């Protein structure tokens, strides 16, 4: 039989601790322990104080582990996300009621497989006449993280892999509408890690998350760093905190199609990206600006590729139901109606007065630049198409519709001058040329993946290094082994 030494050690510590604390055991009396142990809670907490204390305790334990042990902990997260993606993805779909089931499943599997882990850790060296200096990347400690309803467990999974790889532990405040699947994922991840390594609470979650618990995490003295993934409200709140925040905020990704583009390819890509999980991706294609000379050809290509076109009155009927207004006075603005976010194209079409097959992935229609569907981040599989006089007008409209989020932009073109012009004008964190949006996250393009894309604070597509602080170790006049 194989004995897990770490687990045995941790269980023995716990027994000693309990015997000493209740005074009923036969162990010699010892001073009351200063810190209560949270081992065995599997990361589930209703109270922020307790969650942070448990994550701090877990951080102390993790700090004594090797990188190989960190990797073994992360491997459990990866394995569960991949092996149990159908069950957990279905749970997420049933709880959040937005998106498409195959994509819920695929996202979890993809995050499990491809989130950057310990292999991303590195050190830098300066070697010269005065010796050797090494820059190492150290953990912050306990991170406070906020996750969106659009990908509750996938975001948590990707964050956990990268944050743990860097040696941190984390307390999550998930979106209330995705809290159950978040808690179940955390429970399973911790249980597997605890069984093998005797480490619990590396990932903690607030099981009844509210704005109050989010604020308590923001302000907690033992939370060293924040990582917030969500829309404009939470991005603003995080940016106002007194501690460092990595903010992965909203987007409204525009697509430009010029006269040199491969139109069939462009249409397929717009459908693939814009329809994915019913357009819940923050990087997903949200509006298209196509030049006049190819506009009709492009829309015909969209229909050939399986999208359904709504006419002007159908677009207006949909808009009346799927767009609503919030705020007062000057702050009054359009937002997507909650009941339509992440719903199937067939549901949107019905609202527009049209019956289409359930397997249609995307609907689209021609609108003006001012149309609410162009201006808001709709998160629905209806994409507005705007006719532009030329590529310069298309790029300028794309820039304005992105509202300065500097998140994601896409062009379909064979003209590098147009590509360059758009890249410079939009200044986005992700700029995809001739592919669907997800190619910008290494899915069909090169590069790595994360579901926390930190635009406002500049870290970009997060990796373990994002969650580290630099430490410098300098040896003066020695250790450089090269002769003079």
**Helices (H), ranges, 64-197:** 67-83, 85-96, 101-114, 152-165, 179-197
DSSP track, 51-81: HHHHHHHHHHHHHTS-HHHHHHHHHHHHHHH
Query: Cα separation of 409 and 425, whole Å?
Result: 10
Closest to ligand NAD by CB, 99 or 251? 251
Query: Strand, helix or coil at 394?
Result: helix
69: DSSP letter: H
CB of 86 to ligand NAD, least distance (A): 22
CB of 272 to ligand NAD, least distance (A): 18
Closer to ligand NAD at the Cβ: 62 or 156? 156
Q: How far is the CB of 80 from ligand NAD (least distance, A)?
A: 22
Is 384 within 8 Å of 365 (Cβ atoms)? yes
CB atoms within 10 A of CB 406: 17
Q: Which is nearer to ligand NAD, 408 or 418 (CB)?
A: 408
Instruction: Give residue number: closest CB to ligand NAD.
Output: 230
Q: Nearest distance from residue 38's CB to ligand NAD, in Å?
A: 23
| Cβ pair 459, 467 in contact under 8 A | no
- Reading the block at residue 297, the tokens are 């050809």
Length of the chain: 484
Give the separation between CA 194 and CA 449, rounded to whole angstroms: 27
The residue assigned the tokens 């998140």 is 407
Q: How far is CA 112 from each of CA 66, 105, 220, 366, rounded to the nearest angstrom?
A: 21, 11, 29, 38
What distances in angstroms separate CA 354 from CA 99, 320, 358, one per listed residue? Answer: 20, 15, 12
Smallest distance from ligand NAD to CB 235, Å: 7
C-beta of 123: minimal distance to ligand NAD in Å?
27
Q: Closer to ligand NAD at the Cβ: 142 or 290? A: 142
> Using CB under 6 A as the criterion, which residues of the chain lie in contact with ligand NAD when the complex forms?
146-150, 174-176, 211, 214, 229-231, 233-234, 237, 248-251, 282, 377, 451-453
> Of the two residues 139 and 174, which places its CB atom closer to ligand NAD in the complex?
174
Please, is 191 exposed, middle or buried when counting C-beta atoms within 10 Å of its C-beta (0-12, 13-18, 19+)? middle
Q: In the complex with ligand NAD, which residue's Cβ is closer, 234 or 245? A: 234
Residue 193 or 255 having the CB closest to ligand NAD: 255
CB of 183 to ligand NAD, least distance (A): 13
């Amino acid at each position: 039989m194989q004995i897990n030494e770490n687990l045995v050690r941790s269980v023995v510590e716990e027994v000693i601790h309990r015997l000493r604390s209740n005074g009923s055991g036969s162990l010699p009396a010892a001073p009351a322990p200063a810190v209560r142990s949270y081992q065995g809670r599997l990361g589930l907490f209703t109270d922020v104080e307790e969650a942070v204390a448990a994550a701090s305790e877990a951080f102390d334990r993790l700090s004594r582990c090797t990188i190989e042990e960190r990797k073994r902990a992360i491997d459990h997260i990866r394995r569960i996300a991949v092996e149990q993606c159908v069950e957990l993805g279905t749970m997420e779909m049933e709880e959040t009621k937005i998106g498409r089931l195959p994509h819920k499943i695929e996202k979890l599997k993809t995050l499990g497989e491809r989130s950057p882990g310990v292999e991303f850790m590195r050190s830098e060296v300066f070697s010269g006449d005065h010796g050797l200096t090494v820059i190492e990347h150290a953990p912050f400690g306990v991170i406070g993280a906020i996750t969106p309803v659009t990908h509750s467990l996938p975001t948590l999974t990707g964050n956990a892999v990268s944050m743990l790889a860097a040696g941190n532990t984390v307390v999550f405040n998930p979106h209330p509408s995705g809290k159950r699947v978040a808690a179940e994922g955390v429970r399973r991840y911790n249980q597997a890690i605890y069984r093998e390594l005797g480490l619990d609470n590396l990932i903690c979650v607030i099981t009844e998350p509210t704005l109050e618990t989010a604020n308590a995490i923001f302000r907690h003295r033992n939370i060293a760093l924040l990582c917030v993934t969500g829309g404009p409200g939470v991005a603003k709140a995080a940016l106002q905190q007194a501690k460092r925040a990595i903010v992965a905020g909203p987007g409204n990704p525009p697509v430009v199609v010029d006269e040199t583009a491969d139109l069939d390819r462009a249409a397929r890509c717009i459908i693939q990206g814009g329809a994915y999980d019913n357009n819940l991706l923050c990087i997903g294609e949200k509006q298209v600006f196509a030049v006049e000379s190819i506009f009709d050809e492009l829309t015909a290509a969209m229909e050939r590729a399986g999208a359904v076109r709504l006419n002007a009155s159908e677009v207006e009927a949909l808009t009346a139901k799927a767009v609503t207004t919030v705020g007062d006075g000057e702050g009054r603005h359009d937002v997507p109606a909650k009941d339509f976010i992440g719903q199937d194209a067939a549901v949107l079409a019905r609202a527009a007065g049209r019956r289409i097959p359930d397997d249609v992935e995307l609907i689209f229609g021609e609108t003006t630049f001012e149309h609410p569907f162009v201006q808001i981040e709709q998160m629905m599989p209806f994409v507005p198409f705007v006719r532009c006089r030329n590529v310069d007008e298309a790029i300028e409209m794309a820039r304005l519709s992105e509202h300065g989020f500097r998140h994601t932009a896409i062009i379909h073109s064979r003209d590098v001058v147009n590509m360059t012009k758009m890249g410079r004008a939009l200044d986005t964190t992700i700029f995809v040329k001739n592919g669907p949006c997800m190619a910008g996250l290494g899915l069909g393009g090169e590069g790595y993946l994360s579901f926390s894309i930190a635009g406002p604070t500049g870290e970009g597509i997060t990796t373990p290094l994002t969650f580290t602080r630099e430490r410098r170790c300098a040896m003066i006049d020695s250790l450089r082994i090269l002769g003079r």
